[in-house]
Structure 1
Amino acid sequence: MLSRQKLSPETAEDDANAGELLGRSGNLPAPRLGRLVLLAALFCYFSITLLNILSSHASAAPVTAAVLCLFGIMALQLLHSRPGAHLVPARQKALTLFAQALLTYVPLLVFKTQWGSMAGFLAGSLLLLLPAPQAWLMYGVVGASMLAPPLLTGLPVVETFYYVQSTLLTGLVVYGLTRLADLIRVLHETRGELTRVAVTQERLRFARDLHDLLGYSLSAITLKGELIHRLLPAHPARARAEVEDVLTMSRQSLADVRSVASGYRDMSLQDEITSAQSVLSAADVRIDARVRLGELERELDTVLATVLREAVTNVLRHSRATYCEIAAEQSAGQVRLTIVNDGATSGYRDASPHSGSGLGNLQTRLGAVDGALTVEQRVDGTFRLMARAPEQSDREEASQSAA
């Protein structure tokens, strides 16, 4: 019976988290817009300083030199604010920071407070390019250096504090807007990576579910077909009954394919034990099933049923078993499923070219319910598989506590 439960809970949770993050990031501005905001802020600061220079009463030569310095600082600031600027060699960073310092402090000798905001760009560049402790120390030094121009011109203490604060604020704005533009770019790149990871995980889920669900069914159909071939000459009535079983299995296989494609299926351990008894008996394997189970949590029931289905598939394909023991029990808050069979000799293996990766899939599924898988092959040809898991996973308990 189909129900709305994910076949792969752990993959479903990853996809849900990825989808949630993608949804939250859907309102992010584009990376180009982040860069445009940064450039607009830099242009506004430079425009203010340019107007201050042009409105000064200095002669043409100092004004021309100051304008050239202004454009030089702007070019260096754009270089320092580009993505990945902090990754360039230390020598290159030292040269560009030294050039920006010269272009910042030399015009101060002429324009004094009218040039003061340019020191804020130097402070921002230091934060962007230098390691954290050194960067913040130099940032404070640049801010303190702006005490000199107001004091030299005899401005009041309040205005002196204003120039220092303006320098520090400009540095923070440059640093913050640059880092914000970088963060927007990284988030958009991460969103693309999450999309690719979600697609890859869905492909893995589909492949894993096909293996776990159809491997058992197709092995059982093959076994039944061989049995029918043997029964037809002497026991046509029994062969006809086996054909009915094959038809039932093929219909269930079709339903399984559809459930995998839609991503939903619910399984029952009790039903799988009954099915295993029928299939193994048809293969002339003596079966001993001991079941002491109460009502299981739905997700755990599905996982353990998948474990049993894969174990029976392995008995049919990878051994010459004559007997198989299945034990399912609950005790001390744990559920244990144990499958033991003989005939697992090292020299025997299914001749099909694709033997699958069922045990790895089972490890993944059990991990989703905080369980574990133990596999042991003894020298006498006995193969033992045990799956154990808590009756209620930590995730289920946490969801109930939150409710």
Structure 2
Amino acid sequence: MRSPSPVPAPVGDLAPGARQLARGVTATWWYTFSAVVFLELFLLFVWVLYVLAEPIDDIGALLVGIGGLVWWLSTMLLLADYRRRLDAESGIPWARIAGPLLVAVAFGVVAGVFADSLLLVAMPIVQSIVLLNWPRGVRYRVVLLLTAVMIVMAFIDGARGAAAAGPEVWGLSLYAVLIPSATVSSLWWWDVLVALDRARASEARLAATQERLRVATDVHDLQGHHLQVIALQLELAERLMARDPEAALEQLRLARGSVDDAMQGTRDLATRFRSIPLGDEVANARDLLQAAGLEVDATIAADADSAPSNALGPVIRETTTNVLRHGGGRRAALTLARVDSGWRFEIVNDAERPVPGDHTGSGLDGVRRRIAEAGGTLEIREDDAEFGVIVTVPARDTTSTDEEA
């Protein structure tokens, strides 16, 4: 059986793109958890009704009911332990599972005695056993074996006359026999989802590692080449200093030029890795707003990657932060489209209690200056229900042109 894993990181510590996935995994677990405990509760309720129909005293029926509830609560502890497991670790966590297993045995014996049913003795014990963190491939063999044992006990009850031959009793026995298999089926779907989520996380980590290796390789190649050239030029200048000062001075000038080339190459490399296509910028903004709980409608032009990223990229990031900081609403709409005058970006969000002028500040002032330098226009639309920022820039990125010049 597998030992528990550490508690997953809080949703707030995850990257914006992963928060929604983490919430989906959590929601799926609660669906699985509620399905299993509902099956157990319904079976317990039917068995209590069956015991009450037998000629026993009220104390016996009360013991069966209270014991059943205690057993039902103990299975929740086993389910919680099942969620916090690690496939790589081994060992049986007896300190955690001993209590629920003892409760299952005690309830099975007490209820089986009062109901005169071997099947009722086995049912809570078998159900608790299948909830344990068995190694991969072992649980299914355990379930098949225990289900066969319960079938045998059901027929023994029928042969002993402890159970009536009516269809309602046989239906109850069939439900008790099948509930371990139904439980394992629900847990199997949860295991599949966890495996897919881990594969997604591993793929994301691998992509990030490959990107870091590529950056490291580019930096190494760039700086290694320039540093080697600078070292040779300085060594040559040192040798020429005594007999030919002019030639040594020329080598120093070349070394300084090599330093400038290295600095410019580093800046170009950083710029290349910082530049993100505008379509990805809008998609990232959509994911961030959705992770914050907003309903987002994003419209992105097919050729959005050709839009001026130097001008619109900071605008998209600043306005998205502005919505998260001051919006407080439930919906947002993002639009990046080509217009006659160039490119138009629009972000609109509702507000629960809009305050005139509350959205304006240093952030939008910086956006206004950047757009003015790019030759574009900034429009702010604010009313009682919505707040919008509309930016229009020429198709030619004047900021990028000036930097290249």
Same fold (TM over 0.5): no
* TM-score (structure 1 length as normaliser): 0.45
